[in-house]
Chain A
């Protein structure tokens, strides 16, 4: 998934878009060199030392990885899945809506 995530972050760096991770690696120190290797520049919450049973994934009932949610500019969930073309489609629709809302507000 890293290449796809990197390309989204790159493509939409000047758009109202943020990729926010919830990282479920139990060992943060082991992860640190991997962030540089894989050029993971986006911000992540850390799910804590319990790894996949940490509090954030528990609160969001996540049982499979990766799990993705698309949240629009108003904070409303628009999509949930384990990734795929539908996710990209919804992201694009949401970006359009966010830009239109910003334009009308101006």
Chain B
């Protein structure tokens, strides 16, 4: 927390400034809920974006894109997290930051969560981003944190999310590091998710990724493709055996 609180002070002040310039805030809500306020701001922002894009107002669009509510609210959530530092009250603010704020704030919030709140049952949404924030925090650390969550978190779905996220680090198109041992580990993780998770959406993702891990990873024979080309002539992928093939899933959009 030392390093974080150090630079939270200036952004805390920025947060206050941002709060004061916010228009149409509820005057004095009994319990201001920052998440609700953010959701409302985002809805207004999306509405304004739609209007500007319909009016083809490039100037207004540019201005709006620079005022992305997720970026505006980032320092305010950081200030709340700092206010409640070290207590469970900080967790929802930190989780929001991991999912919404810019990569720097997100990575520092994730660091705080993993160092101080690894047993909190509410960190699932943050755990889901261990893989994508990997370039900020490093694959090695991301992997160690996933292992800690799996070992220590009391919530089954949070543990399942950690297993799924760990698998995405090692198999699939966004894998950061590959080896046969890591592939076998990912297969084991995904089988655990399929057997243990009660969340349909996570199970669906895990089933697809398991299929990829078992049939579509580097080192495995490419499945045959039989189809027709853009002129309707039939051909097969295996006709190109003997050549190096760059198989490119593309679209002109």
In the complex, which of the residues B208, B230, B238 contacts A44, with contact meaning CB atoms closer than 8 Å? B230
Q: Which residues of A contact B227 (CB under 8 A)?
A: 45-46, 55-56
A31 to B, closest residue via Cβ: B252
On whether the beta carbons of A68 and B248 are closer than 8 Å, the reply is: yes
Q: In the bound complex, what is the Cα–Cα distance between A34 and B253 (angstroms)?
A: 11
Among the stretches B121-129, B131-139, B211-219, the one at the interface with A is: B211-219
A18-47 vs B, Cβ < 8 Å mask (1 yes, 0 no): 111111110010011011001000011110
CB distance from B13 to the nearest CB of A (A): 39
Q: Is A25's CB under 8 angstroms from B245's CB?
A: no
* B16 at interface, CB cutoff 8 A: no
Q: Which residues of A contact B174 (CB under 8 A)?
A: 81-82
Complexed CA–CA distance, A102 and B244 (Å): 12
- With both chains docked as a complex, state the minimum distance between the C-beta of A91 and any C-beta of chain B, in angstroms: 6
The answer, yes or no, to whether B32 is at the interface (CB within 8 Å) is no
The number of residues on chain A lying at the interface, defined by a beta carbon within 8 Å of a beta carbon of chain B, is 58
- Contact present for B223 and A60 (CB under 8 Å): yes
Per-position binary interface string of chain B over residues 174-216, scored 1 when its CB falls under 8 Å from any chain A CB and 0 otherwise = 1000000000000000000000000000000000110110001
> Which residues of chain A are near B248, meaning CB under 8 Å?
1, 5, 19-22, 66, 68
Those of B216-253 within 8 Å (CB) of chain A: 216-223, 225, 227-230, 235, 237-238, 240-253
**Chain B positions 141-174 with a Cβ under 8 Å from a chain A Cβ:** 172-174
In the complex the two chains form, is A34's CB within 8 Å of B252's CB? yes
Contact check, B223 vs A70: say whether CB atoms are below 8 A apart.
Answer: no
Chain B interface residue number, banded: 35 or more
C-alpha gap A25/B228 in the complex (Å): 14
A77 B220 Cβ-Cβ under 8 A: yes
Closest CB in chain B relative to A50 CB, distance in Å: 12
In the assembled complex, the Cα of A75 lies from the Cα of B209 at a distance in Å of: 22
Known: A31-B230, A94-B244. A80 touches B222 (CB 8 A): no
Chain B interface residues toward A at CB < 8 A: 172-174, 208-209, 211-212, 216-223, 225, 227-230, 235, 237-238, 240-253
Query: What are some 23 contacts across the A-B interface (CB < 8 A)?
Result: A18-B243, A21-B248, A22-B248, A22-B250, A25-B252, A25-B253, A31-B252, A38-B252, A45-B227, A45-B229, A56-B225, A60-B223, A61-B211, A65-B250, A65-B251, A66-B249, A70-B245, A75-B222, A78-B218, A79-B218, A80-B216, A87-B246, A98-B244
Q: List 11 additional contacts besides A25-B253, A60-B249, A71-B245; criterion CB under 8 Å.
A: A5-B248, A20-B248, A22-B225, A22-B250, A23-B230, A23-B252, A44-B229, A76-B220, A77-B222, A78-B218, A94-B244
